[in-house]
Amino acid sequence: MSTAATPSARYRAYVSDVSYYSGKLEAYLRYAGIDHERIEVNTDTLRNTVLPATGVMKVPAMQCPDGRWLKDTTPMMRWLDQQHGRPSIYPTDPASHFIALLIEDYADEWLWRPAMYYRWNFADSHRLLRHRLGRELSDGTRYPAAGLGWYMRWRQYLTFVRDDGIRPHNEAQVQALYRRTLAQLSQRLKDRPFLLGERPSIVDFAFFASMFRHFALDPHSAKQMIDTAPAVYAWVGRVWNAHGGNTPSHAELEDFASSDWNAIFGEISRDYLTYLDVNATAYARGEKHFDLTLGDTVYPQMAVVRYRVACREQILLAYRALTAEARAQVDLRLQASGIASWLRQAPLVVSGLAEEFVMPLQRRYPKATGLRGLKLLKGTPWDMPAPPVR
Ligand SMILES: N[C@@H](CCC(=O)N[C@@H](CS)C(=O)NCC(=O)O)C(=O)O
């Protein structure tokens, strides 16, 4: 296949059948009715097509009908919504819009740790996923499925469980976050089909990323969801099946006034923002690892993730771009949780990745040849690399 992947009449969506963020995008594409060709990646497509187009071997990635590329579900879905969104999945009121983006970032990034832990730590889940991922990534390549599956299990465990600070002494805290999230979503779904009312929004798609492909489908976490949170289990199916024909397009999205959101704001303020700050400080000091203390729990030797310095930067820039009136509304709603004072006072740490959030991507990236190719045998790093010089 040509690395440039010649333009086609439809979008091309490069996805993985077991992937957190592919599930988020795919549910959105179905809901928005965006016509696309679904391409399950293997190691060759990742290296030869996705990497030179996006700079990382990560899914999902999309190629537009005109040949341009999109990556990273956060800016990708925002851009797609501007092109196709009728109705938009983002709240129109600026204060609610900002809070929705904050929750999207939290759900995307902070539920990643329990999702990876439940998948790659427990044998009932990792045996199954090792087979599925091995088969998917080796399909049509010269690599053996069993070997690739074994490799991927260890690679994912070491990178996203061990390097994310999880050790026997703090596993109970990671499990507790999953349990609390199921309770928070169940409460919210008691009397509405979607998290902001009658139709899905970005907040649904963001929680859906972990809840669908990981928690609802990986055996170990699925049992807990089915046993303790049937409303969440039903919602997962509802989001997957949502389309213009079965959801009211005129329905206004709800705002965040309900006290249902307080517990989620509490998680963001107490744990996620603390993490973002410590990660950003370590990044600014040029460190590669840091210890994180949340309450009385220590997560040792966590990898510094530059992408999440960029997430923090995006939140702060979005807050600063609000009008004084919208900022006052955000402050009022987020005051009690402590998020508002963080938004006002947190110093900006510049990630140098802001350009990576502008869609469609404006450039091509280097191929995986020579030394770089060898290094990439263990995948692209968790992080996004800095944009190459033009
Ligand atoms: N922020 C990105 C994250 C993409 C991402 O991490 N994708 C995972 C699959 S869910 C991946 O491809 N991981 C491969 C790797 O890290 O090697 C997004 O929202 O799309």
Q: In one letter, which amino acid is 338?
A: G
Average pLDDT over residues 370-378: 64
Average pLDDT over residues 93-114: 98
Structure confidence by residue, pLDDT tens digits, 336-346? 999 999 999 99
Give residue 72 CA to ligand 1 midpoint distance, Å: 8
With a 6 Å cutoff on the Cβ, whether 20 touches ligand 1 is: yes
pLDDT attached to residue 375: 61
Q: What is the largest CA-CA distance in the chain?
A: 59
With a 6 Å cutoff on the Cβ, whether 19 touches ligand 1 is: yes
Residue of minimum CA distance from atom 15 in ligand 1: 58
Asked whether the bond before 7 is cis by omega within 30 degrees of 0, the reply is no
Average pLDDT over residues 308-319: 98
Q: In one letter, which amino acid is 246?
A: N
Average pLDDT over residues 371-382: 66
Give residue 68 CA to ligand 1 midpoint distance, Å: 19
pLDDT attached to residue 390: 40
Domain boundaries, given as residue ranges, for the chain: 11-87+359-378, 94-345
With a 6 Å cutoff on the Cβ, whether 125 touches ligand 1 is: no
- Ligand 1 atom nearest residue 382's Cα: 16
Report the alpha-carbon distance of residue 113 to residue 173 in Å, rounded.
Answer: 11
Residue of minimum CA distance from atom 2 in ligand 1: 72
67: left (phi over 0), alpha (psi -120 to 50) or beta: left
pLDDT attached to residue 216: 98
Measured CA to CA in angstroms, residue 198 lies from 34, 127, 218, 252 at distances of: 21, 38, 28, 8
Q: By the 8 A CB rule, do 202 and 224 touch?
A: no
With a 6 Å cutoff on the Cβ, whether 73 touches ligand 1 is: yes
Q: pLDDT band for position 2 (50/70/90)?
A: very low
Give residue 198 CA to ligand 1 midpoint distance, Å: 29
- Strand, coil or helix: what is 353? coil
- Residues with Cβ within 8 Å of 122's Cβ and at least 6 positions away in sequence, in order, are 219, 220
Report the alpha-carbon distance of residue 283 to residue 270 in Å, rounded.
Answer: 21
pLDDT attached to residue 379: 74
Q: By the 8 A CB rule, do 73 and 19 touch?
A: no
- Ligand 1 atom nearest residue 109's Cα: 1
With a 6 Å cutoff on the Cβ, whether 214 touches ligand 1 is: no
Sign of CA dihedral 367, 372, 375, 380: negative
Which region among 5-9, 126-130, 207-211 has the lowest average model confidence (pLDDT)?
5-9
Q: pLDDT band for position 10 (50/70/90)?
A: very high
**Phi, psi dihedral angles at 26 (to 5 degrees):** -65, -40
User: What CATH number was assigned to the domain covering residues 94-345?
Assistant: 1.20.1050.10
Run of H or E residues at 303: strand 297-303
With a 6 Å cutoff on the Cβ, whether 58 touches ligand 1 is: yes
pLDDT higher than 80, residue 372: no
pTM of the model: 0.95
- Strand, coil or helix: what is 62? strand
pLDDT attached to residue 1: 36
Structure confidence by residue, pLDDT tens digits, 253-289? 999 999 999 999 999 999 999 999 999 999 999 999 9
pLDDT attached to residue 368: 74
Average pLDDT over residues 102-110: 99
CATH homologous superfamily, domain 11-87+359-378? Glutaredoxin (3.40.30.10)
Give residue 15 CA to ligand 1 midpoint distance, Å: 10
Please report, rounded to a whole number, the percentage of residues in the chain having pLDDT higher than 70. Answer: 93
With a 6 Å cutoff on the Cβ, whether 59 touches ligand 1 is: yes
Tell which one of 21, 54, 62, 137 to mutate to probe ligand 1, the residue whose CB is within 8 A of the most ligand atoms: 21
pLDDT higher than 70, residue 80: yes
Q: pLDDT band for position 383 (50/70/90)?
A: confident
Average pLDDT over residues 132-154: 97
Give residue 18 CA to ligand 1 midpoint distance, Å: 11
Give residue 59 CA to ligand 1 midpoint distance, Å: 5
- Ligand 1 atom nearest residue 19's Cα: 10
Question: Average pLDDT, whole number, for the chain?
Answer: 94
With a 6 Å cutoff on the Cβ, whether 74 touches ligand 1 is: yes
Average pLDDT over residues 227-240: 98
With a 6 Å cutoff on the Cβ, whether 75 touches ligand 1 is: no
- Helix intervals (H) in the chain: 20-32, 43-45, 51-54, 73-84, 94-110, 112-121, 123-138, 145-160, 171-188, 202-210, 219-228, 230-241, 262-267, 273-284, 306-320, 324-334, 339-345, 370-375
pLDDT attached to residue 373: 66
**Phi, psi dihedral angles at 203 (to 5 degrees):** -65, -40
Report the alpha-carbon distance of residue 27 to residue 194 in Å, rounded.
Answer: 13
Q: pLDDT band for position 365 (50/70/90)?
A: confident
Report the alpha-carbon distance of residue 20 to residue 350 in Å, rounded.
Answer: 27
Environment class of residue 67 by beta-carbon count within 10 Å: exposed (0-12), middle (13-18) or buried (19+)? Answer: middle
- Ligand 1 atom nearest residue 160's Cα: 16
With a 6 Å cutoff on the Cβ, whether 72 touches ligand 1 is: yes
Give residue 71 CA to ligand 1 midpoint distance, Å: 10
Report the alpha-carbon distance of residue 237 to residue 179 in Å, rounded.
Answer: 20
pLDDT attached to residue 86: 84
Structure confidence by residue, pLDDT tens digits, 15-50? 999 999 999 999 999 999 999 999 999 999 999 999
pLDDT attached to residue 69: 98
